[in-house]
Chain A
Amino acid sequence: MMKRIEAISTIAEEAEIQDAFIVGNIGFPSRELCAVGDRTSNFYMLGSMGLASSIGLGLALARPDKRVIAIDGDGAVLMNLGSLATIADQDPKNYLLVILDNGCYGSTGSQPTCTSRRADLARMAEGAGVSEVRLAATSEELRNGVAGRGVLVVKVEIGNAEVPVIDLSPEKIIKRFMARSAPPSPSS
C-alpha cells in the first residue's frame, strides 16, 4: 500500500503535466501537498472540512476549459456524501475527485472511519451515479487514474508525513490561485 504523501506526490506530478488546478483537503493532505511541491495552482483548504470536493466541482463548472483535481479524504467525503450525487448529476468532463482512503481521521489522531470496516466509497460513488469510478492500489494505477474523470479511490497507509504547517496566509493562497484561475479579462 502507498503512503499518502507518495500518492499526493504522484497526483501533483500528473497535475503539473496536465496544467490542472488542485484543491487540497484540510489538515495533513494539504500540508503534504504543499511540501511535495508548492504551486500557485494549488488551493489549500484550511477550514470547512468536507467541502474540498464541492469547491473542486464549483471550480470545474466555472472553468470547463481547465482540468480540476480535488484531493479529499475518506472522513471528509463521509461528511459530505451528497457531493457524490451532485458530482454525478453535473458530470463535468474536466473534474476528478481523488479520495485518499486511509480508513481514519488522520489529522486528529487516526480515529477509525466507517471505511475501515464496512463502508465502500467507490461503491457509494457508483450508487450516486458517478459516470467513471476507479480504484488505484499501485503508483501506476494511480497515474492512469489521474488522467480520468469522476471519482478515483486510492487506499493508502495510515499515518502522516513529517511536514510543516503551510506557511502561507489565506489571503496569499487565494490571491495567487485566482491570478491563475480567474485572470482579469483584457476587456475589463
Chain B
Amino acid sequence: MMEIDPSSAVFRGMKGAGIDFVASVPCINLQDLLCMVDADPDIIHVPVTREEEGVGICAGAYLGGKRPALLMQNSGLGNSINALASLNGLYKIPLLMIVSHRGGEGETIVGQVPMGRLTPELLDAMKIPRFSPTLFEAEELVARAWQVALADGTPTAVLLDIEFWRSR
C-alpha cells in the first residue's frame, strides 16, 4: 500500500478547499507543511509574531476576498480567544485553523500538557467546530472544515495530534 505523508495530506486538503492565504506561527510538527505553503505561488504566506495577530490578519484577508487559514500550535489558541470571539464570532468571519495538537500521548515537553488537555474543551465552550482526522481522513476533513467555516461564518479547527504526525 502506498504511504501517505501527513503534511502532504493536510496540504492537499487546504488546496482542495481553495485556501489562498495563510498566517502562521510555527510548530515542529508543521515544519514540512509550512515549507509547502511557502513554496506555493498561489498562497500568500504571512509568518506572524503571535497567533492572535494571525487571526486579525486572516480576518482582513477574508474582507479582501481571500480564503484564509491559520497554522499554529494549540498553545496559540489561548493567545487568540478574544479575537476569535469578538472579531470572527461577532462579524461571522470564517477561518480555517490547522492546529498541531501537543500535550497528548507521546509528548515529551511537560509545558505542553496543560493547554493540550484544555484545547478540545476550550473549542467546545467557544462553539468552534473541531475535527480530529486520521491520516486517511485528513485531506477530506481539512477541506470540509473550511466548507463548514464558510457556510456557518465561524472559525473551525482541525486538531492534529502527535500520533497523526507520526502516522504513515
Contacts and interface: CB of A to CB of B under 8 A. Distances in A.
A178 interface: yes
A86 interface: yes
B49 A61 contact: no
Interface in A86-101: 86, 89-90
A71 interface: no
A52 B55 CA distance: 11
Contact of A50 (B52, B64, B85, B91): B52
A30 B60 CA distance: 16
Nearest to A80: B53
A58 B90 contact: no
Interface stretch (B40-48, B111-119, B131-139, B155-163): B40-48
A46 B56 contact: no
A17 B91 CA distance: 28
Interface in B3-25: 21, 23
A63 interface: yes
B145 interface: no
A80 B46 contact: no
A57 B82 CA distance: 19
A69 interface: no
Contact-residue size bin, chain B (C-beta under 8 Å from the other chain): 20 to 34
B57 A89 contact: no
A131 B58 CA distance: 23
A60 B21 CA distance: 12
B168 interface: no
Interface residues of A, number: 36
Given A51-B55, A83-B49, A171-B92, A62 B87 contact: no
A55 B63 contact: yes
Contacts of B62: 58, 62, 182
B65 to A, nearest CB: 3
Nearest to B49: A82
B37 interface: no
Nearest to B89: A47
A63 B82 contact: no
A173 interface: yes
Counting chain B CB atoms within 10 Å of each CB, the highest count among A54, A63, A82, A181 belongs to: A54
A51 B63 contact: no
B59 interface: yes
B66 interface: yes
A37 interface: no
Contact of B64 (A63, A170, A173): A63
A136 interface: no
A45 B87 contact: yes
A25 B47 CA distance: 23
A58 B61 contact: yes
A53 B136 CA distance: 39
A66 to B, nearest CB: 8
B75 to A, nearest CB: 16
Contacts of A82: 48-50, 53
Contacts of A83: 49, 53, 56
A86 B49 contact: yes
Interface of B: 21, 23, 44, 46-50, 52-66, 68, 82-83, 85-87, 90-93
